[in-house]
Amino acid sequence: MDIAEVKKELNRLRKEIRHHNKCYYDNDSPEISDYEYDLLMQRLKSLEGAYPELITKTSPTQQVGGTARREAGVLVQHDVPMLSLQDVFSKAEVADFVNSAIEALDEPEFVVEEKIDGLSLALRYRDGLLTQAITRGDGVIQGEDVTENARVIKDIKQKLKDSLPYFEVRGEVYMSREAFAKVNDRQELLGLKPFANPRNCAAGTLRQLDSRITKERQLSMFVFNLQAAEGREFASHTEAYDFMKKQGMKVIHNYKVCRTAEEVMATIDEIGASRGSLPYDIDGAVVKVNDFAQREQLGQTSKVPKWAVAYKYPPEEKETRLLDIELSVGRTGRITPTAVFEPVQLCGTKVERATLHNQDFIDELDIRIGDTIRVFKSGEIIPKVRSVNHDLRPEGTEPFFIGDTCPVCGHKAVREESMADIRCTNPSCPAQMENHLINFVGRDAMDIKGMGEQNIHALIEAGLVKDVADIFVLSRHREAMIAAGLIGKEKNTDKVLEAIEKAKANEPQRLVAGFGISGIGKAAARELMLHFHSVDKLAEADAEAVREVNDIGEISSRAIYEYFRDPVNIDIIKRLKEAGVNMELKDSGIVDEKLAGKTVVVTGTLPTLSRNEAKSLIESHGGKAAGSVSKKTDYVLAGEAAGSKLTKAQELGIPVLSEAEFLAMVE
Which active-site residues does the annotation give? 115
Q: Is 424 annotated as a binding residue?
A: yes
- Beta-carbon count within 10 A of 534 CB: 15
Which candidate, 123, 117, 139, places its Cα nearest to that of 28?
Answer: 139
**The dihedral of CA 286, 287, 292, 298: what is its sign?**
negative
Three-state DSSP at 341 gives strand
Q: What number of helices (H) and strands (E) belong to the chain? A: 26, 22
Closest CA to 409 of 437, 435, 433, 438: 433
Would you say 432 and 333 are in contact if contact means Cβ atoms under 8 Å apart? yes
Return the amino acid letter for 375.
V
288 is an annotated ligand-binding site residue: yes
Q: Is 34 annotated as a binding residue?
A: yes
23 is in an annotated binding site: no
**Strands 308-312 and 86-88, how do they pair?**
parallel
List all residues 6 or more positions away from 76 whose beta carbon is below 8 Å from its beta carbon: 132, 134, 142, 143, 144, 145
With beta carbons less than 8 A apart as the criterion, state whether 628 and 600 touch. Answer: no
Q: Which helix (H) or strand (E) holds 307?
A: none
Which is nearest to 70 in space by CA: 42, 33, 119? 33
* Residue 172 assigned as binding residue: yes
Report d(CA 246, CA 160) in Å as an integer. 9
First to last CA, the chain: 42
For residue 105, the SS3 value is coil
Q: Is 24 annotated as a binding-site member?
A: no
Contact indicator for 586, 615 with CB cutoff of 8 Å: no
Query: Which residues are within 8 A (CB) of 152 and not within 5 positions of it... i.e. 6 or more apart?
Result: 211, 212, 214, 215
Check the annotation: does 37 bind a ligand.
yes
Which H, E and C letters describe 362-395, residue by residue? HHHHCCCCCCEEEEEEECCCEEEEEEECHHHCCC
Rounded CA gap, 511 and 57, in Å? Answer: 39
**Is 113 annotated to bind ligand?**
yes
Residue 386 annotated as lining a ligand binding site: no
String of DSSP letters for 4-49: HHHHHHHHHHHHHHHHHHHHHHTTS--SS-HHHHHHHHHHHHHHHH
- Residues 60 and 556: their CA atoms lie apart, in Å, by 37
Angle, CA 305 vertex, CA 301 and CA 307 arms, to 5°? 130
- Provide φ and ψ at 405, rounded to 5°: -125, 130
Task: State phi, psi for 452 to the nearest 5 degrees.
Answer: -85, 180
Spatial contact of 589 and 619, defined as CB atoms under 8 Å apart? yes
* Residue 312 annotated as binding site: yes
Q: Cα separation of 443 and 334, whole Å?
A: 24
Instruction: Please give the angle made by the CA atoms of 69, 70 and 72, to the nearest 5 degrees.
Output: 55
Query: Any known ligand binding at 36?
Result: yes
136 among the known binding-site residues? yes
Asked whether residue 85 is marked as a ligand-binding residue, the answer is yes
Helix (H) / strand (E) element for 200: namely helix 198-206
Which letter does DSSP use for residue 396 in this model?
Answer: T
Q: What residue type is 251 in one-letter code?
A: V
Task: Tell me how far apart the alpha carbons of residues 609 and 629 are, in angstroms, rounded to a whole number.
Answer: 20
Task: Establish whether 258 is an annotated binding residue.
Answer: no
Task: For residue 232, count CB atoms less than 10 angstroms from its CB and return exposed for 0-12, middle for 13-18, buried for 19 or more.
Answer: exposed
Q: Which residues are known binding-site members for Zn(2+)?
A: 406, 409, 424, 429
Where is the binding site for NAD(+), in residues? 34-38, 84-85, 113, 136, 172, 288, 312
The annotated binding site is made up of: 34-38, 84-85, 113, 136, 172, 288, 312, 406, 409, 424, 429
